[in-house]
Amino acid sequence: MALVEIKNLHKSFGGNHVLRGIDFTVEQGEVVCVIGPSGSGKSTLLRCVNLLEVPQQGQVFVRGEDITDRDCHLDSARQQIGMVFQQFNLFPHLSALANCTVAQTTVLKRSKAEAEQIARANLDRVGLNDKVTAYPLQLSGGQQQRVAIARALSMDPALMLFDEPTSALDPELVGDVLTVMRKLALDGMTMLVVTHEMAFAREVADRVVFMDGGVIVEQGPPADLIGNPKEERTRTFLRRVLDPTHVEPN
């Protein structure tokens, strides 16, 4: 059974039909990178996986449970799905440690001591064991994003969603975050990553999905999809990202 299975997903905002029938799956332990031009619906797709966006049509199964079903206990489904946002969204009134414990104690009902132990281990895992008491505003963007990863990991998720996790970062801070994500992938975490980092996708992803105009145009192993794309739309997109100075012949 696939960890995530999406069937015929449709989502529109007003008259804007953003997702036009998406079918795809993520297997246990798989790292899937979603690429595509802005406005192609890749972030919306990701946000449908934990129902931050509610699709108008279609189903999302997580571990076989249909989370679009009204009877589904959405909060407990979300506990298994960690999410990392482009804008970090750390809780500014809480320290790095408390950011990582607040959901553990309130949702998972872990004791404070246990939650703090788990939080410290995860902050250590992202290389921030010296920033446990720091508040988000005292941290750099890269450090904030790594706290956000530790916060999600502290819930012991079965799946991690990354929504353009390095897009809001200064270029010199991107590497730290990607290093943490690479390590996570090597540890066997199931990851669904919306990204513009082609080098990361090529190196870390088991599968790359190219989206355009609200549909999946093409998907496959990175060597095939990035190295030798079949579809013209994929080729055009890749030419633009891999060589931004390239001018399209008319």
Partner 1 sequence: MTLTDTVAEKRPGLSPRQRAQRSRGIQYAVLIVIVLVAAFTANWGQIASVFFKPEFVKSAFTSGLPGAFVKTIEYTAGAFVIGLLGGTLLALMRLSRVAPYRWLATAYIEFFRGLPAIVVFVAFSLLPLAFADLVIPLDPYGTVWLALGIVAAAYMAEVIRAGIQAVPKGQIEAARSLGMPAGVATRKIVLPQAFRIVLPPLANDLILLVKDSSLVFIIGTSAAAYELTGFGRDLANTESNLTPLVTAGFCYLIITLPLGLLVRWLEAKAARAH
- Contact between 91 and partner 1 by CB under 8 A: the answer reads yes
**13 exposed, middle or buried (CB, 10 Å; 0-12, 13-18, 19+)?**
exposed
Q: Which is nearer to partner 1, 101 or 234 (CB)?
A: 101
Task: Choose one: 15-23, 34-42, 63-71, 73-81; the region binding partner 1 (CB under 8 A).
Answer: 73-81
| 37-66 positions binding partner 1, by CB under 8 A | 50, 52
Which distant-in-sequence residues (6+ apart) come within 8 Å of 1 by Cβ?
63, 64
Q: Does 68 bind partner 1 (CB under 8 A)?
A: no
Applying the rule CB under 8 A, the residues between 92 and 121 that interact with partner 1 are 92-93, 102-103, 106-107
Could you give the angle at which helices 141-153 and 112-125 cross, rounded to 10 degrees? 130
Site string for partner 1, 180-219 (x = CB under 8 A): ----------------------------------------
All residues at 6 or more sequence positions from 154 whose CB lies less than 8 Å from its CB, including other chains: 100, 101, 103, 104, 115, 118, 119, 122
d(CA 87, CA 135): 16
Q: How far is the CB of 105 from partner 1 (least distance, A)?
A: 9
Choose, by CB under 8 A, the member of 75, 130, 187, 232 that binds partner 1.
Answer: 75
CB distance 243 to 47 below 8 Å = no
| 8 Å CB contact between 99 and 177 | no
Residue showing tokens 């999406």: 6
Least gap, CB of 30 to partner 1 (angstroms): 21
Rounded to whole angstroms, how far apart are CA atoms 244 and 164? 19
Identity of the residue, 108 or 198, whose beta carbon is nearer to partner 1 in the bound complex:
108
Binding mask 125-144 for partner 1 (x = CB under 8 A): ------------x-------
Q: Site residues (CB under 8 A) for partner 1?
A: 50, 52, 75-76, 78-79, 81-83, 85, 87, 89-93, 102-103, 106-107, 137, 148, 151-152, 155
